Amino acid sequence: MSPLSRRAVLRGAGVALSLPWLEALAPRRAFAAELAPRRFLLCAFPNGAPHDWWDGAPAFGQTHTGAAFRLPSVLTPFAPLKSKLLMVSRLGNYTWNRGGARPEPTVEPSHARCMAAFTTCVDTDEVLRRANLPLDSGVRNGVSVDQLFAAQWAQATPLASLQTGLGVKPGMFDGRSYAYNQVLSWRTPTEPLKRQVNPRAIFDALVGASTAGSDAARRALAEKEKSVLDAVRTETLRLKARVSRNDQVVLEQYLDSVRALEQRATALSTVMCQTPARPDAVPEPPGPARGLSHGQDGYDHEVHADVMNELITLAFQCDRTRVVTHLLDDSRSEFEYRHIPRADRDRVGLAYRATDTLHFHGDQHGSGALGDRVVDGRYPVLTPSNRGYAAINAWLCRKVAELALRLDAIREGDGSVLDHTVLVFGSEMRTHDHDAFDLPLLLAGGTGLLAHDAHRALAPLGQDRQLRDLWFTLLRRWGGTTTVSFGEDVRGVANAELTELLR
């Protein structure tokens, strides 16, 4: 009865999903340049970045472009895409923080609150207090940036958005709901859309029941599907008439899911992609107590990441959705990155030792300290980041670089899928210190909108710009929304576009 033995795990999925299906899948749909879809992809990693991330960064207020812009060692896998990259430094995300008399860049407890605020820029503690809910179990946030993109583009694709991720070992509590540790997408303030780590479930959502053979078989399947969903809707409405007003709201949410499935069943009748092999499953951790480690039951973290990259690529290439959030691990991750290969370790100067645990949160708290006072236009490195923390970051960077390269390899209209995607890669906190200013951020793609082949360092703490302005700018300029305000600023400062980042 061990919980482990019950699990189907990712075994050999890398083999099952090897290249041929991607080739077979290519939709060969030519988008004219002006019709090329716009997409938004957020790849987030928890627990901040090692100081290596800022090696060679320009001084505050300065920009490096072209040859002067050099990628730090952790980011070198992005090198083939350098002409489509924009590194951004000195962007903060803390002015929503009501922890003290005025917003402080040090947010406690930082992991849960910073992760929750990464895509919403609001203070979940304060939202709960206002709603008179207990901090230990309440779940409330704002609406996340990706969901505003999704609402804007919802009509274009069968899925308004997709939430994916790699976390298979729940992070530690910060005395807050796990929703804050594990979620980037908030459809509404009360609806966290937790990332799906199970490739099979994502595959089903993307490809659906379109696998049936003949037209007649497909029609029969659709009739059965309709019969079930009609009955479920009728019976849910019947129950709804017999419950309290509050419970009616919950049943209405359930009905939303029934309707979404009905719409999808209709949309799938026009088959657009051929069907790749169905990948095996990686289990979603069943609760806070349990998790999966690399090597356990044949689980392979590298393969898991590869399959996720392929599925995200499939989602965009086949135009199943235009918005994806990909959370690479839980905030305050307890995962041990023992699998990181020698090459990634070499890149940051970590000698290979099989016994190194590479425990993410442990290594975040290993040696490493960055100053908070400006010296020569920078925050000085007081103690270099420990190499374990750097190696974990190097691995995370490589996996996202591989995804970006995949997207850039697919031609679409006048460019590539990456050109038509704004990829934001970053973390909810700075580094070892858990501070919420100077977030590590790398943007890729968004060709035509964003400045490229550049590293822009904004002003230092105190005059720094805020992440909410980045989301505000992208929503308006890339999403074409009429957003007038995004996130909160307890100082009462209004949003302003970050024109410094535009072409």
Range 62-81, binding other proteins (CB under 8 A): none
**Residue number, 7 or 398, with CB nearest to other proteins:** 7
Question: Closest Cα to residue 357, out of 391, 328, 405?
Answer: 391
Task: Examine residue 198 and tell whether it contacts other proteins (CB under 8 A).
Answer: yes
Q: Pick one of 2, 155, 270, 482: the residue that binds other proteins (CB under 8 A).
A: 2
Instruction: State both tokens at 292.
Output: 């999966």
Residue 315: CB minimum distance to other proteins, A: 15
Total residues interacting with other proteins, rule: CB under 8 A: 75
The piece of 68-76, 225-233, 345-353, 484-492 that touches other proteins (CB under 8 A) is 225-233
Q: How far is the CB of 453 from other proteins (least distance, A)?
A: 38
- Shortest distance in whole angstroms from residue 424 CB to other proteins: 22
By the rule CB under 8 A, 210 interacts with other proteins: no
Interface segment toward other proteins; rule CB under 8 A; list 61-69, 289-297, 337-345, 436-444: 289-297
* H or E stretch covering 178: helix 178-182
Q: Which stretch binds other proteins (CB under 8 A): 249-257, 300-308, 403-411, 495-503?
A: 249-257
User: Which residue in 286, 334, 326 sits closest to 307, CA to CA?
Assistant: 326
Q: Is 85 helix (H, G, I), strand (E, B) or coil?
A: strand
Task: Note whether 246 binds other proteins by CB under 8 A.
Answer: yes
CB nearer to other proteins: pick between 288 and 298: 288
Q: What is the C-alpha separation between 389 and 400, in angstroms, rounded?
A: 17
247: contact with other proteins by CB under 8 A: yes
User: Does residue 42 belong to the site contacting other proteins (CB under 8 A)?
Assistant: no
CB 75 within 8 A of CB 347: no
Q: Which residues, 354 to 383, sit near other proteins by CB under 8 A?
A: 355, 357, 359, 365
Cis peptide before 109 (omega within 30 of 0): yes
**Residue 175 in contact with residue 207, Cβ under 8 Å?**
no
CA distances in angstroms from 252 to 237, 257, 296, listed in the order given: 9, 9, 40
List, in order, residues 6 or more apart from 252 with CB less than 8 Å away.
240
For the chain, the C-alpha Rg in angstroms (whole number) is 23
Q: Which of 284, 297, 453, 497 binds other proteins (CB under 8 A)?
A: 284
- Binds other proteins by CB under 8 A, chosen from 16, 59, 151, 201: 201
Q: Is 253 in the site for other proteins (CB under 8 A)?
A: yes
Instruction: Kindly tell me which of 103 and 291 has the beta carbon lying closer to other proteins.
Output: 291
227 binds other proteins per the rule CB under 8 A? yes
Measure the CA–CA gap between 184 and 502, rounded to whole angstroms: 25
Please report, as residue ranges, which positions from 163 to 182 form the binding site for other proteins (by CB under 8 A): 163, 169, 173, 175-179, 182
Whole-angstrom CA distances from 450 to 43, 206, 218, 408 are 18, 29, 44, 16
Would you say 102 or 223 has its CB closer to other proteins?
223
User: Of 251, 259, 256, whose CA–CA distance to 235 is shortest?
Assistant: 251
- By CB under 8 A, name the one of 93, 124, 157, 196 that touches other proteins: 196
Minimum distance, C-beta of residue 108 to other proteins, in the bound complex (Å)? 6
Choosing from 156, 250, 343, 493, the residue that interacts with other proteins (CB under 8 A) is 250
Stretch that binds other proteins, among 228-236, 396-404, 420-428, 464-472 (CB under 8 A): 228-236
| Of 102, 130, 224, 411, the one binding other proteins by CB under 8 A | 224
Q: Which of 336, 344, 356, 428 binds other proteins (CB under 8 A)?
A: 336
What six digits make up the tokens of 357?
């645990």
Which helix or strand (DSSP H or E) is residue 474 part of? helix 467-477
Q: How many whole angstroms separate alpha carbon 157 and alpha carbon 146?
A: 15
Among 55, 191, 402, 453, binds other proteins (CB under 8 A): 191
Which amino acid makes up residue 94? Y
Backbone angles phi, psi at 290, to 5 degrees: -120, 170
Window of 9-17, 218-226, 431-439, 444-452 that interacts with other proteins by CB under 8 A: 218-226
CB of 14 to other proteins, least distance (A): 20
Shortest reach from residue 401's CB to other proteins, in Å: 28
Q: Where do runs of H (alpha helix) occur along 79-154?
A: 110-118, 124-130, 145-153
Q: Is 144 exposed, middle or buried (0-12, 13-18, 19+ CB in 10 A)?
A: buried
Q: What angle do helix axes 199-207 and 301-317 make, rounded to 10 degrees?
A: 10
Q: Which of 98, 194, 378, 476 binds other proteins (CB under 8 A)?
A: 194
Binding of other proteins by 127 (CB under 8 A): no
- Shortest CB 306 distance to other proteins, Å: 20
Q: Considering the rule CB under 8 A, would residue 7 count as an interface residue with other proteins?
A: yes
Establish how many alpha carbons lie within 13 A of residue 273's alpha carbon, considering only the half-sphere containing its beta carbon. 26
